[in-house]
Amino acid sequence: MLKVNKEKSILEYAYRLLALRDRSEIEMRHRLIKKSYENDEIDKTISHLKELGYIDDKKLAEKLIRFAIINKNYGRKYIKPFLLSKGIDESVINNLTISDEEFKESAESFIIKQKKIIKNKIGQGDKKQDLLCKIIKGLQSRGHDYETIKEALLNKGESNV
């Protein structure tokens, strides 16, 4: 009876965690260890959740990539460290493919946002070339390579790159 209640307890806790947001296998394991559950209980729970499809590192990685590209405007260089920080296994990351087009769209989105800021600042004495440099540095600091940045700027009408 005690074992059944303990198994139910660990599963309920895991469901509560997953109700808040998706978790990687490693992240779930760390949270269950932190709660002092036994390793065999943790293994059973994670296996059960994987069978049900509630823990799927590949699907989670794909969601996180979309979030990082669309919301954070991250480039290729930042994606892998970002996923690793979220507990996605390196083998899963290495098997994912992301098109250059997605990164270019991300860079273009960043440029559009920054152009709105530029329009407000040009009247305040900043030179357009200085502001263009700020956009390039902003994209590079988010992990975009120069070729992607150059293409995105050209697509957005900045010919003096």
What is the CATH classification number for the domain harbouring 34? 1.10.10
Average pLDDT over residues 98-123: 81
Contact 135, 122 (CB under 8 A): no
Task: Specify the number of domains making up the chain.
Answer: 3
State whether 106 and 86 are in the same domain: no
Binned at pLDDT 50, 70 and 90, residue 28 comes out as very high
146 with 119, same domain? Answer: yes
> Helix 39-52 crosses helix 2-20 at what angle (to 10 degrees)?
50
Residues in the chain: 161
161: in domain: no
109, 141: one domain: yes
Question: What's the CA gap between 25 and 41, in Å, rounded?
Answer: 14
In a domain, residue 160? The reply is: no
Which residue is listed with tokens 């590949």? 58
Alpha-helical runs (H) found in 71-127: 76-85, 90-94, 100-122
Residue 4 has pLDDT above 90, yes or no: no
- Identify the band that residue 59 occupies on the pLDDT scale cut at 50, 70 and 90: very high
pLDDT value at residue 2: 42
Residues 111 and 71 in one domain: no
Residue 1 has pLDDT above 60, yes or no: no
pTM of structure: 0.78
Q: What is the mean pLDDT of residues 132-140?
A: 88
Same domain, 121 and 81: no
Does 49 share its domain with 62?
Answer: no
Burial 62-81 (b: 16+ CB within 10 A, else e): eebbeebbeeebbbbebbee
In the DSSP assignment, the letter for residue 91 is: H
Q: Are residues 72 and 35 in the same domain?
A: no
* Rounded distance between C-alpha atoms, residue 34 and residue 41, angstroms: 13
Same domain, 50 and 18: yes
Alpha helices for the chain (secondary structure H): 2-20, 25-34, 39-52, 57-70, 76-85, 90-94, 100-122, 128-141, 146-155
- 73 by DSSP, 3-state: which? coil
> Is the per-residue pLDDT at 3 higher than 60?
no
- Asked if residue 97 has pLDDT above 90, the reply is no
Round the average pLDDT of the chain to a whole number and report it: 87
Range of the domain at 88: 58-94
In a domain, 79, yes or no: yes
Residue 64 is assigned to a structural domain of this protein = yes
Percentage, residues of the chain above pLDDT 70: 88
